[in-house]
Amino acid sequence: MIKTDVLIVGGGLSGLTAARTLQGKKRYLLAEKEPLTGGLAASVKKNGFTFDYSGHLLHLHWKKTGDLILRLLKNNHYKIRRNAWIHLKGGEVPYPFQANLYNLPDKIKSECVCGFLEACLRGKGGSGHARAGMPFKNWSINTFGAGISKHFMLPYNYKLWQYPLDRLTADWCAPFVPMPNPREVLEGAYRTRSTEMGYNPVFYYPRLGGIQALPDALAKGLKDIHTGCELRSLNLKTKTAFINGLGAVKYGSLINTMPLKYFVELIKSPPAGLRALNAKLRHNTIYVLNLGVKGTSSKKHWTYFPESEFLFYRAGIATNFSRHLAPKGCSSLYIETATYGADLDPGAAEKKIFRGLIKGGVIKNEKDIIEKLWLKIPCAYVIYDSARNIALPPILSTLADNNIHSIGRYGAWKYSFMEESVKEGLETAKKIITNRAPRR
Ligand SMILES: Cc1cc2nc3c(=O)[nH]c(=O)nc-3n(C[C@H](O)[C@H](O)[C@H](O)COP(=O)(O)OP(=O)(O)OC[C@H]3O[C@@H](n4cnc5c(N)ncnc54)[C@H](O)[C@@H]3O)c2cc1C
């Protein structure tokens, strides 16, 4: 039987960063079920195109991890100013919608401005304050008013989450939804303003290799990475994992980065109540249609499509992050469609998507499409609802009691971003090196 101090499940950014931090300090073994490491930050090469699992842009918020990421990428990166839009009623509004109402047709602008003023008069507009567990729909109407909610916040978020917005909570919003103050909303309704708001007004992206350049740099020189090795079951009492291709692995502590819900399902004879709590965790699924297209047109990075006549919720132009993602004279697009608990039929979806791309002005002619690749993200956005609030703390604390650190976007079952996965991998490995218990 293999024995290790630390078993790491999953070779995405959080698992790889943990392995890199443990290297030379503790015995570790990283098991990744796919043939390559990278997780959601992987890139796929096809006939001269490099496709990511949708746009994967590095927005850096913390000095330590920001420096580490840029050091790993060496000079292989661009620094880019966001150029994002919302397609509505045949026109375009710069992102964020709530701070750029000036570009809307008069009637809609008036609904949005009046609704926002009413929300301000009720004392809540612009504050963004959400009590824990507050339904997203109420939060949006309180914060932005009825008009902004009706024309953007509600239809867009329903398309993304595919979950009833009176059951989705607003607990995820604070870092991700730009919250202009009343002055900024009103100024944005009557004159062109800066779009530098939100968590990613400036971002970094690898010059060569797609976003896979980052996990590749992290994995370089790591000794105990085992790809094609899937965790199949776990015995908490004996601290033994059964992994395809490796057999039984006895560990001292375990870092889990695979989706929590499916990790817990692998536990043999789990503590009482754990399965029932786990059954409360939900997530949606994203299908990314990557397209290689002849010619290049707009300089936009991505456009949001809140209207239901478009199947997809966002369409991006990856070659505007790095022109090296496509052969000369071509561009590369990524189109994102969400589902909840249902499969998407790619054939039927493609027809609707192509029609939408032409209507939305993203491509001129279907004949320009010369390459395509569907990438599916089965567990994409974890659902924030009251059931998550009830189930997550006891699940994580049961795992912590068994020396399991469950981290990363899916291990911790949250809405987060690449730098945060790197940060958690780093901090968790350091805790293990200094012998501190998992966070409860
Ligand atoms: C549509 C979309 C767009 C995004 N865009 C951005 C963006 O622009 N910027 C940004 O910063 N972040 C973005 N993110 C978030 C980002 O992808 C994640 O935060 C980050 O990549 C997660 O890394 P991770 O290591 O925590 O998890 P993952 O990358 O999911 O790694 C987990 C690993 O576990 C492996 N695994 C699963 N089951 C098993 C098993 N049984 N045994 C062994 N291994 C297993 C998986 O194969 C995977 O490699 C986006 C996410 C989505 C869904």
Q: Are 187 and 193 in contact (CB under 8 A)?
A: yes
- Number of domains, the chain: 3
Q: In the listed set 132, 156, 190, which residue is the last one of a domain according to the structure?
A: 190
- Verify that 36 and 15 share a domain, yes or no: yes
What per-residue confidence (pLDDT) applies to 125? 66
- Verify that 113 and 183 share a domain, yes or no: yes
3-state helix, strand, coil in the chain (%, to 5): 40, 25, 40
Any domain includes 158:
yes
Structure tokens at 12: 């995405």
What per-residue confidence (pLDDT) applies to 195? 64
Structure tokens at 105: 């047709």
- Verify that 361 and 410 share a domain, yes or no: no
Residue of the nearest CA to atom 53 in ligand 1?
Answer: 380
Structure tokens at 356: 């939408």
Cα 48 to the chain's mean position, in Å? Answer: 26
Average pLDDT, 10 consecutive residues per value, the chain (440 residues): 97 98 97 98 97 96 97 96 94 92 93 92 73 93 94 98 97 86 88 70 95 98 96 98 98 98 97 97 98 89 97 98 96 98 94 97 94 98 97 98 98 98 98 81
Any domain includes 197:
no
> How far apart are the CA of 213 and the centre of ligand 1, in A?
15
Any domain includes 154:
yes
Measured distance CA(268)–CA(270) in Å, rounded:
6
Beta partners for residue 128, in sequence order: none
Instruction: Return the SS3 of 317.
Output: strand
Task: Please report the DSSP string for 69-90 in residue order.
Answer: HHHHHTT-EEEEE--EEEEETT
**In this structure, what is the dihedral angle of CA atoms 226, 228, 234, 236, given to the nearest 10 degrees?**
20
- Verify that 124 and 156 share a domain, yes or no: yes
- Verify that 270 and 313 share a domain, yes or no: no
- Verify that 224 and 275 share a domain, yes or no: yes
- Verify that 163 and 221 share a domain, yes or no: no
* b/e code 188-213 from CB counts within 10 Å (16+ = b): bbeeebebebbebbebbbbeebbbbb
> How far apart are the CA of 12 and the centre of ligand 1, in A?
6
Any domain includes 289:
yes
Q: Where does residue 292 fall: left (phi above 0), alpha (psi -120 to 50 degrees), or beta otherwise?
A: beta
Beta partners for residue 374, in sequence order: 289
- Verify that 345 and 391 share a domain, yes or no: no
The torsion angles phi and psi of 97, rounded to 5 degrees, stand at: -50, -50
The torsion angles phi and psi of 325, rounded to 5 degrees, stand at: -80, -5
- Verify that 395 and 425 share a domain, yes or no: yes
Q: What angle do CA 227, 230, 234 make, to 5 degrees?
A: 135
Q: Are 96 and 195 in contact (CB under 8 A)?
A: yes
- Verify that 320 and 347 share a domain, yes or no: yes
Alpha helices (H) along 11-104 = 13-22, 63-73
pTM of the model: 0.95
Instruction: Give the CATH number of the domain where residue 243 resides.
Output: 3.50.50.60
Residues in the ligand 1 pocket, defined by CB under 6 Å: 9-15, 31-34, 39-41, 54-57, 230-231, 257-258, 286, 377, 380, 408-410, 416-418, 421
- Verify that 268 and 289 share a domain, yes or no: no
User: Which residues, 6 or more positions from 257, have their beta carbon under 8 angstroms from its beta carbon?
Assistant: 8, 9, 10, 12, 14, 15, 18, 39, 406, 407, 408, 410, 411, 421, 425
What per-residue confidence (pLDDT) applies to 95? 92
Any domain includes 84:
no
Instruction: Give the CATH number of the domain where residue 297 resides.
Output: 3.90.660.50
> How far apart are the CA of 209 and the centre of ligand 1, in A?
18
Any domain includes 202:
no
Atom of ligand 1 at shortest range from CA of 59: 11
What per-residue confidence (pLDDT) applies to 175? 81
Q: Sort strands 91-94 and 84-88 into parallel, antiparallel or unpaired.
A: antiparallel
Q: Is 186 exposed, middle or buried (0-12, 13-18, 19+ CB in 10 A)?
A: middle
- Verify that 142 and 164 share a domain, yes or no: yes
Sequence letter at residue 24: G
What per-residue confidence (pLDDT) applies to 123? 77
Measured distance CA(256)–CA(428) in Å, rounded:
11
> How far apart are the CA of 243 and the centre of ligand 1, in A?
20
Q: In the listed set 352, 377, 402, which residue is the last one of a domain according to the structure?
A: 377
Cα 310 to the chain's mean position, in Å? Answer: 21
Q: In the listed set 190, 220, 241, which residue is the last one of a domain according to the structure?
A: 190
> How far apart are the CA of 216 and the centre of ligand 1, in A?
14
Any domain includes 439:
no
> How far apart are the CA of 40 and the centre of ligand 1, in A?
4
Residue of the nearest CA to atom 14 in ligand 1?
Answer: 417
Where in the sequence is the domain holding 416, given as residue range(s)? 2-42+208-281+384-433
Q: How many residues can be counted in the chain?
A: 440
Measured distance CA(267)–CA(349) in Å, rounded:
37
Beta partners for residue 337, in sequence order: 287
